[in-house]
């Protein structure tokens, strides 16, 4: 690994740890020439996932876009950044195991909604309103009523 300070290729690994649920290895390194310490991350190179939009367009999967959408839904809610990152990692992991190269955008939205429903119901309704493109209050009410448990014996 090339030292970011002096460009030397000789270094030693001081410490290695797993990160992101074992998907990544974080390594602390020290340059033999200048003594500079730096961090590198190592992960398996996976197939580039592509998202198939509802209008048929295809674009590269963007984790940052996914996290931003979840963050927007969770604004001013008691949801930590760690929980958001974990939710995004979980969605991505499931998508990578279920799809080889192309993912329908609807599958991404459904997975996020399922996980948000368990995490924070208000964030779920916010995300659903954008994902499902709610146009009036009755659609909000229907989503909220779907969250209210029904009494036993009544359907």
List the chain pLDDT tens, one digit each, 155 residues. Answer: 899 999 999 999 999 999 877 889 999 999 999 999 999 999 887 778 899 998 999 999 999 999 999 999 999 999 999 999 999 999 998 998 899 899 999 899 899 999 998 999 889 888 888 877 767 777 767 777 777 777 775 55
What's the DSSP call for residue 48? P
Strand 50-52 versus strand 102-104 pairing type: parallel
Do residues 90 and 115 lie in contact, with contact meaning Cβ atoms separated by under 8 Å? yes
Q: Does 74 share its domain with 17?
A: no
**Model-wide pTM > 0.85:** no
The pLDDT of residue 154 = 55
- Greatest Cα pair distance, the chain, in angstroms, is 75
Q: Does 89 share its domain with 130?
A: yes
Q: Does 74 share its domain with 37?
A: no
The pLDDT of residue 129 = 81
Q: Does 76 share its domain with 123?
A: yes
Asked if the structure places residue 155 within a domain, the reply is no
Q: Does 76 share its domain with 104?
A: yes
Distances, alpha carbon 102 to alpha carbons 23, 67, 94, 108, 119, in Å: 21, 19, 13, 11, 27
Its domain, for residue 18, covers 11-43
How many domains are there within the chain? Answer: 2
Q: Does 84 share its domain with 129?
A: yes
Asked if the structure places residue 2 within a domain, the reply is no
Task: Starting at the earlier edge strand, list the strands of the sheet with 37-43.
Answer: 11-19, 24-31, 37-43
Asked if the structure places residue 5 within a domain, the reply is no
Do residues 36 and 3 lie in contact, with contact meaning Cβ atoms separated by under 8 Å? yes
Query: How far is it, in rounded angstroms, from Cα 53 to Cα 74?
Result: 24
Do residues 33 and 6 lie in contact, with contact meaning Cβ atoms separated by under 8 Å? yes
Asked if the structure places residue 4 within a domain, the reply is no
Asked if the structure places residue 69 within a domain, the reply is yes
The pLDDT of residue 78 = 95
Let me know the angle formed at the C-alpha of 59 by 88 and 70, rounded to the nearest 5 degrees. Answer: 25
């Amino acid at each position: 690994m090339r030292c970011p300070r002096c460009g030397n290729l000789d270094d030693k690994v001081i410490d290695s740890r797993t990160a992101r649920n074992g998907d990544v290895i974080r390594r602390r390194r020290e340059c033999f020439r200048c003594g500079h310490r730096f961090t590198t991350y190592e992960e398996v190179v996976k197939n580039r996932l592509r998202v198939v939009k509802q209008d048929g367009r295809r674009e590269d999967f963007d984790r940052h876009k996914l996290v931003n959408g979840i963050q927007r839904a969770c604004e001013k809610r008691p949801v930590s950044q760690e929980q958001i990152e974990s939710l995004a990692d979980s969605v991505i992991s499931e998508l990578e195991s279920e799809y080889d190269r192309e993912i329908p955008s609807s599958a991404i939205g459904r997975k996020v909604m399922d996980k948000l429903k368990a995490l924070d119901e208000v964030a779920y309704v916010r995300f659903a309103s954008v994902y499902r493109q709610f146009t009036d209050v009755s659609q909000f009410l229907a989503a909220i009523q779907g969250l209210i448990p029904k009494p036993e014996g009544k359907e």
